Structure formats: C-alpha cells, structure tokens
Amino acid sequence: MKIAVIQGPNINMLGVREQHIYGPMKMEEIHEQLKGAASQNGVELEFFQSNLEGELVDRVQECLGEVDGILINPAAYSHTSIALADALKAVSLPVVEVHISNIYHREEFRQKSITATASTGVITGFGPFGYHMGLMALTQIISEIYQQQQGSEEVAQHEQAEAK
C-alpha cells in the first residue's frame, strides 16, 4: 500500500510560524513520525510540499495510478482552490484532508473547505496527531476497497466457472 502525503503552503514553516495555533513541531518531525507509524503497518509513504497551487495540482494528478490514497493538508488552499478540489476529484482516489488547527474555531473565511468536497473524510483540530489519525483512516479505507475488489473478482470468477 502506497500513500502520498501532500502538504500545502506554509506547512514547511511549522515550528516557526504561529506556534500558538500550530504548535512547535516541524513538518520534518511530523513526516518522521508518520514514517514510523507507516512502516509498522507495511505502508509506503511519499512526501511532497509546495507553496504553489499549480505544483500541488500537478502532484495530485501524478498520484493517479501511482498511489492508493492521498493524505493532504491543503492549508490555505483548502479555502480557495477549486483547481485543487477538481484535481482530487479527477484522480478518484481515497483522500483524507488534515488540518492541524480546528478550522471551525478560526476566522470565518477559514471555516469553509472547498477541498473537503473532494475528500473521503476530514480531520481537523488535533494538532500533528491529526496526521496519524488520517493515516489510520486512510489505510482502513484502502484495505476495505481491496477487500471489496477481491470479493468482486471472486464472484466474477465463480460466475465464469458456472457459465462453462
């Protein structure tokens, strides 16, 4: 199982910017913790961060056929990027959106996530632990999809055998 972890604008500044909102943990520390959790569960992670909307859209599109799911913190683009939401919808992969802060306890313009409409689920307000929650949720969702696909294949094989 392979999951892309995609980080939006200013996530590279975690640990420096607004620690009263985002805490002291740096993006690299979050990634290291995620790697540990993923390796314990046989999950491969790919990390990508950009401050540029088009690069994020490109990376999401590149996920098609390459990964089984996307764990994304679109950051400020969650509130503004129709292009990113459209890209997430286009790849038809399971997506879990993560926000470190509780967007519903923030300014009014941050309380609406456009990208959430393209996400399987959203985790908000649990700090860096939200990434772990998202990883757990995404691995479960992907596992369930695999099980459904296997069941469908078995039914098709059974039907083919009966038709002969």
Annotated active-site residue in 22, 77, 79, 131: 22
The CATH number of the domain holding residue 103 is: 3.40.50.9100
Please, is 145 exposed, middle or buried when counting C-beta atoms within 10 Å of its C-beta (0-12, 13-18, 19+)? Answer: middle
Range of the domain at 59: 2-163
Closest-CA residue to 61 (of 84, 95, 77, 34): 84
Provide the domain count of the chain. 1
- pLDDT tens per residue across span 41-83: 999 999 999 999 999 999 999 999 999 999 999 999 999 999 9
Which CA distances in Å does 131 have to 71, 98, 134? Answer: 8, 6, 5
Q: 146 an active-site residue?
A: no
Q: Do 100 and 128 meet the contact criterion of CB atoms below 8 Å apart?
A: yes
- pLDDT tens per residue across span 74-123: 999 999 999 999 999 999 999 999 999 877 666 676 667 899 999 999 99
The overall pTM is greater than 0.85:
yes
Annotated active-site residue in 79, 99, 131, 132: 99
Q: 22 an active-site residue?
A: yes
